[in-house]
Amino acid sequence: MKRILFIACFLLVCVTISYFILNPKKQKPLPIINPKDLNEEMVDPELLRIGQGHQIGDFKFQNQNKKTITQKEINGKVFVAEYFFTTCQSICPLMNKQMQRIQEKFKGNENLKILSFTVDPAIDNTDELEKYAKKMNAKDGQWHFLTGQKEALYSLARKSFFILKPAEAKNLGD
């Protein structure tokens, strides 16, 4: 009797282990967020008609090493984007700690990029971004701190990343 119970338990364990080995948990694909999926107050009115297929618009900015970075840098790659400013003392340091965690987790992975766009290009020139990148231990080629013309930075935020529709519409300033 003990022998039969042992064999039954052993077979049950083997079947269970085999099941988990042969049927690994399937990963869910990353969601694709389109303008129509968002609160229309957050989306530029010109974009509301877009159903599916939204892509990040063309951009051309300078990184902390004075290298020109364009959307071609991220084509076919997974990327994390944020807007911040180097003199921020509230949420930006917390966000960038999380960016450091992402960078560390995906160290050396050429298919992951981190793009940190400034909201204050008047102060955040390439020299300031270089200092900030060093402070954050940013790995060259993986984490880009980007600056450029304010209008271009804000337009990209509104039209590609759905940060907020033009502030003038609600008198919110920048």
| pLDDT level of residue 86 (50, 70, 90 thresholds) | very high
d(C-alpha 95, C-alpha 170), whole Å:
27
Q: Which helix (H) or strand (E) holds 82?
A: strand 78-84
pLDDT digits (tens, 9 = 90+) for 137-162: 999 999 999 999 999 999 998 888 87
Strand partners for 154: none
pLDDT greater than 80 at residue 121 = yes
pLDDT digits (tens, 9 = 90+) for 30-57: 677 777 777 777 777 777 777 677 788 8
pLDDT greater than 60 at residue 173 = no
d(C-alpha 134, C-alpha 122), whole Å:
20
Tokens coding 48: 């509301």
pLDDT digits (tens, 9 = 90+) for 87-116: 999 999 999 999 999 999 999 999 999 999
What pTM value is reported for the model? 0.75
d(C-alpha 164, C-alpha 51), whole Å:
18
So where are the chain's domains? 35-170
- How do the residues of the chain divide into helix, strand and coil, expressed in percent and rounded to 5? 40, 15, 45
Quick one: DSSP state of residue 40?
G
Region label for 169, one of left (φ > 0), alpha (ψ between -120 and 50) or beta (otherwise): alpha
Q: What is the CATH number of domain 35-170?
A: 3.40.30.10
Per-residue model confidence (pLDDT) at position 23: 74
Q: Quote the percentage of the chain above a pLDDT of 90.
A: 53
Chain-wide mean pLDDT for the chain?
A: 85
Q: Quote the percentage of the chain above a pLDDT of 70.
A: 86
Rounded average pLDDT over 12-33: 72
